[in-house]
Structure 1
Amino acid sequence: MGFKQKVFKVGLFVMIVAILPGLPPYPTFPFKSFSVTPPRPLEDILAPNQLLNNAEHLLEHQLASPDTILVRGNMTYVTVYGGKILELTNDEQIRVVAKFGKECRSHYDDRECGRVLGMAFDSQGNNLIVIEAYSGIWQVQIKTGEKKQLISLDTVIEGGKVSRKPKFPNALAVARNGDIYWSDFSSDFLFEDAMIAMLMNPSGRLVHYSRATGKSKVLIDEVYGANGIVLNADESFVLVGETGGQLIYRYYLKGSKSGTYDIFADGLPGSVDNLMADENGIWVGIVIAADPNNPSALALLAPFPILRKFCVRMLTFIELPFEFVYQKTGNQLALHASHFIGNLLSAKALFPKRSTVLRLDWEGNIVAALHGDDGTASLVAHATQNGEYLLLGSPATSWIGRVRLNEETLKTVGSKVRLGSAKKPSPKPVIVDKSKQKVDGEL
């Protein structure tokens, strides 16, 4: 068989699988061509450096997938695998603030043992407002751990192109009046199938939840992987990161542009994850690097709906029998296989090795870029400044990363802290929960 014949047969197979009617999945929006703005060259402000190299690994092997990190005074709060929110206290103890779901049996049973993604301090009390990927948005009292559900995944969110239930709640920000702005990453697949979700046409949303009425409404629809959320200081606009589009949208809440949105920053060097704001600007976690020499595979596939539809159907067909066996028998090997097939981290060996955190001002300008190439900071989803240090979270690590910001970066980000002025880390070990296990680092 000649080469042309082989190519023809492969193409015919792809076309048949892609165009046959009535086969799953059943997308919110039909497959059609769209485009992603190419990433900017790694030059000038984005030029490679080693500012994330030699990152310390705090609590190494004592936690997994620290997705979101918040700092308030001497307390640090972190969401980790296993549906837990941890409080790292001043006396080097770790307290479990709250637990969602059952106890985990392994690293692939998120849907059973919970997966907390987004988290923000509440403006209406001593609470954390958190997003649990499989159940919705909750209010958690920090001292007692008491939980109150605010938004269920069974709630139809009105507005947008199509009113529908949330599928993959991801990140949030809390306004001064208690209202919540949150992102629904995709309307087609759950958290564990993020890779398949990103092959669909964009169906993510930026949503506003009124604390007074208990109602949500869509502000922006068809976001290509709606992710990190922040409000600016006067709450005149809210930002939402778009993972697949490698950009950040700005939705105006006040002024002459109220009710409209535009692009705050685009052509970013990779997939945007969490956003963390302060009065001077925003830290942006770039979870999967991209540049002109290493373009995003998702961006390359965006203009080809037939090919994306084929990939989605093939992955779905492969996953279905394992999911069926798990649902009928509870077999853990079947659950493991189902979790692996659709999971974005299953492809992490193919991702570029560069780690990147960006600093943007409130005009959308990139004012600093921190890169790493030694692997000590990996797939950075979250960056939180704590004095002269930057704390790094990632869904792919078993530690919290920490790098010391140099004098130039501190000056650029408008920090009043200078080298040598922050409290140096104590040599004492951290004690984790009740296990009394010791680790080398601390916060």
Structure 2
Amino acid sequence: MGILRSIGRVVVDITVLLLVLVLLPGLPPDVKFSYYETDETLPFEGPLAKNDLLNDAGRILDGKINGPESVASRDRYELFTSLHNGKILRVWGKNFDHFQTVATIGPGCDGPWQESICGRPLGLRFAPDGKLIVADAYLGLFALDVETGKKESLFDVTQEIDGAVPKIPDDLDIDEDGNIYWSDASSVVDLSDGVVEMLSDPSGRLIKFDSKTKTNSVLVKNVHFANGVQLSPDRDFVLFCETFRSRVLRHWLNGPNAGKTDVFVDRLPGKPDNLRAKKDGGYYVSLVAVDNKKVDATSILARFPLVRKLLLRLVGIPKFLFDTISKVYPNQFTENASYKIYHLQPIAEMIASNVAVVVELDAEGNIVGSLQGDNGIVRFISETDQVGDYLFFGSPYNNYLGYLRVAYTEDEEDEAPNLEVDGEGVKMSEDASEEKVDIDKRKEVDIKEEPQEIVEERKEEEDTIMDEDVKEVKGQDSEKEEILDEVEKEDETRDDDEKEEEIPDEDEKEEDLPDEKEGDDDDDDDDHDYEKIVEKGELKEQAPSEVVEHMEETVEKDISPQVPIEKEDTETPSAPVKEEL
């Protein structure tokens, strides 16, 4: 009884503690939690049918950069990407074989755990005036001159916009007048506390910055982690991703629906990050995390707001302790631990697989295809953007920039990337295929030239067949020589028998001797003529009948007819380029 009573007391104490954590107001994180439901995501079938196009991808700057979230370009042989530690990196050259840091948004820091100091640039776009506009998650929006490295803050990010301070400026797009449409992923927590935004009520926003008045106005509120932004070609609407609801929303700027917001595409099989326009129309939507159909924790927790609140407050206890220690005794260990507790990256890495997905949409929001891979060459894709002949894949977590060649220019069709950068050996991965992946046409393309290995193999086979033919011919010649030797021996034996039958008398022997010599000479001449006849192939007509019969028997026994050797067809069928489904 005493044991049961003790167990009961423990259970009651824990229950009371949990109720206090859930119900006591003001405990961090002080955010709202409501019930909501999510629809089941689309299966990988139809236009989302599984494929391995991204298995042909490669990497550049592997191990030399950290978190290339976004990509912007102004030339087919140049791109800029945003990195941890506040850096903007320029990569250029026909094979993207040079790189250089053009600017650092913040003053610098010791590591990612201090990114609130050094800044974390995310979305990048070039403005009509040639300036690179940077959305920094902590420091706000900047206009950067990439030639001089000079940067200018567009507004004070610590000031409220429509009653709330922007906490995570994320992505942006710019119209021809220089107006900037940008997303604020959360108005309650900063980027290092992204898990809080994921489990609490949505607080993200879509905002417009007026280039003339230098003011911001909120277009859409209560977005569950507002992310990638993309204007339509006609500038009549703007698209933006709602990451934690797995969908893309559309806000109308002009026309009869101006001011309204609707769903462009939903039930995506993962969490959308940035979206970018395709060269041939439509959009790329990059899924930074791909759904695990076995366990969909987000959908389960959506129905239990008190459970989400309890989880955040329980995890908040060690975070509070680490923050307190760091204030009293600053050190890297407690700062880094506090930074990771609510950060999205550890969770993404914990549940991640090697699967990567980029969804292709048409201009109306219909899913028309996808790029997928499962070999881990590229993962955590935050953005897909075409620069020249390549698609480049950004990521907030990778230490490389992914790429996939999708086109060949006429002057570079036979040119393969071979990168050497500033003596640091930055190379496109050797394990990545440089074969063009025809994404748009989705058809097989024959390779014009056979691989060198097949040519060499064919040559070896032909040499082997030739050697066998030579050996067979030599064998037949030796058999013919043996037959001729036998014929000559029989002829000599026949001549000897005839001589024995015609032995002269002793008295006449001396007189006939000169005649015998002359006869011998005649016989020698006959033998010589006979050999010539044999060599000319006229033996059958000129040789005695018994010799011919013997030769025919010998040939039938010893010589088999020569069967012509059929050479194997070593031609290799044209290798088709992978067909995109």
TM-score (norm 2): 0.68
Match of 2:116?
111
Q: Is the 8 A contact 2:237 2:252 kept in 1?
A: yes
Q: Say which SS state the counterpart of residue 212 (structure 2) adopts.
A: coil
Report the CA distance between 1:246 and its aligned residue.
Answer: 0.3
Match of 1:120?
125
Matching residue within 92, 95, 101 for 2:100:
95
Q: Deviations over 1:296-354 (max 9, x none)?
A: x2232122110111112122222112122223433211111111111111111213442
Q: Is the 8 A contact 2:197 2:224 kept in 1?
A: no
Match of 1:179?
179
After superposition, the Cα gap between the structure-2 partners of 1:278 and 1:102, relative to the gap in structure 1 and judged at 3 Å, is: same
Q: Say which SS state the counterpart of residue 310 (structure 2) adopts.
A: helix
2:143 paired with 1:139: yes
Q: What is the one-letter code of the residue matched to 1:282?
A: Y
Report the CA distance between 1:430 and its aligned residue.
Answer: 2.2
2:420 paired with 1:429: yes
Match of 1:198?
198
Distance 1:45 1:146 in 2: 45
Q: Say which SS state the counterpart of residue 172 (structure 1) adopts.
A: strand
Q: Is the 8 A contact 1:282 1:360 kept in 2?
A: yes
Q: What is the one-letter code of the residue matched to 2:418?
A: P
Q: Say which SS state the counterpart of residue 17 (structure 1) adopts.
A: helix
Q: Say which SS state the counterpart of residue 54 (structure 2) adopts.
A: coil
Report the CA distance between 1:183 and its aligned residue.
Answer: 0.5
Report the CA distance between 1:133 and its aligned residue.
Answer: 1.2
Q: Is the 8 A contact 1:14 1:307 kept in 2?
A: no
Normalized per residue, the structure richer in helix is 2
Match of 2:494?
none
2:43 paired with 1:41: yes
> Structure 2 matches for 1:23-422, cutoff 5 A?
23-27=27-31, 30-73=32-75, 74-90=77-93, 92-123=97-128, 125-158=129-162, 163-278=163-278, 280-290=281-291, 292-295=293-296, 297-347=297-347, 348-405=349-406, 417=407
Q: What is the one-letter code of the residue matched to 2:33?
A: F
Q: Say which SS state the counterpart of residue 238 (structure 1) adopts.
A: strand
Normalized per residue, the structure richer in strand is 1
After superposition, the Cα gap between the structure-2 partners of 1:10 and 1:49, relative to the gap in structure 1 and judged at 3 Å, is: farther
Distance 2:394 2:282 in 1: 19
Distance 1:281 1:179 in 2: 22
Distance 1:402 1:37 in 2: 32
Q: Which moved more, 1:108-117 or 1:256-265?
A: 108-117
Report the CA distance between 1:291 and its aligned residue.
Answer: 5.5
Distance 1:22 1:285 in 2: 37
Distance 1:370 1:387 in 2: 18
Identity %: 32
After superposition, the Cα gap between the structure-2 partners of 1:425 and 1:150, relative to the gap in structure 1 and judged at 3 Å, is: farther
After superposition, the Cα gap between the structure-2 partners of 1:387 and 1:143, relative to the gap in structure 1 and judged at 3 Å, is: closer
Larger radius of gyration: 2
Q: Which moved more, 1:258-267 or 1:111-120?
A: 111-120
After superposition, the Cα gap between the structure-2 partners of 1:291 and 1:364, relative to the gap in structure 1 and judged at 3 Å, is: farther
Match of 1:414?
none
Distance 2:295 2:355 in 1: 10
Report the CA distance between 1:422 and its aligned residue.
Answer: 5.4
Distance 1:86 1:137 in 2: 17
Report the CA distance between 1:109 and its aligned residue.
Answer: 2.5
Please list every run of 5 or more consecutive structure 1 residues that lacks an aligned counterpart in the other structure: 406-416
After superposition, the Cα gap between the structure-2 partners of 1:302 and 1:422, relative to the gap in structure 1 and judged at 3 Å, is: farther
Distance 1:24 1:127 in 2: 40
Q: What RMSD, in angstroms, separates the aligned Cα atoms of the two structures?
A: 2.4
Distance 1:268 1:306 in 2: 27
Q: Say which SS state the counterpart of residue 53 (structure 2) adopts.
A: coil
Distance 1:421 1:250 in 2: 40
Give the number of equivalent residue pairs.
419
Distance 1:359 1:419 in 2: 23
After superposition, the Cα gap between the structure-2 partners of 1:288 and 1:229, relative to the gap in structure 1 and judged at 3 Å, is: same
Q: Is the 8 A contact 2:79 2:387 kept in 1?
A: no
Q: Is the 8 A contact 1:429 1:441 kept in 2?
A: no
Q: RCO higher in 1 or 2 (8 Å CA, sep ≥ 6)?
A: 1
